[in-house]
Amino acid sequence: MAITVLFTFFMACATSYKAKPLPFKAAASYPNAIEVAGATVGAKAFVNAKEAKEVFGFDVRGAGMLPVQVVFDNQGLHPLEINAVQTFLEDSEANLWPVLASKTAYERATK
């Protein structure tokens, strides 16, 4: 019974958007790559609305989101843990923005 209810719920929430894997480069190849505690971290913000739409398949920028792809290559001796509650994105004006909760991102993407 629970499986049927969950399946029905997800079918009702379905949109024309289909999640697809996104290609990425090695962390060290990003121009902003930095090494922290033996881990290389690189990132790309999809600022250009046209490029973001092509990559994500919908107007993600128009939905009020700025997708940022972050790549980690941990060659250090210790594991890394990313805590989204303590993770912020900095814009060109030095403003810090919290990472959206998955529920909020889902709501914006499906509107």
Helices (H), 20-66: 49-56
Of 35, 39, 61, 64, the closest CA to residue 48 belongs to 61
Whole-structure pTM value: 0.70
- The string of pLDDT tens digits covering residues 76-111 is 999 988 888 898 888 888 989 888 888 888 888 887
- Looking at residue 110, its pLDDT comes to 80
Q: Are 71 and 41 in contact (CB under 8 A)?
A: yes
Domain boundaries, the chain: 17-110
User: What Rg value do the Cα atoms of the chain yield, rounded?
Assistant: 17
- The string of pLDDT tens digits covering residues 25-74 is 999 999 999 999 899 999 999 999 999 998 888 888 998 888 889 999 99
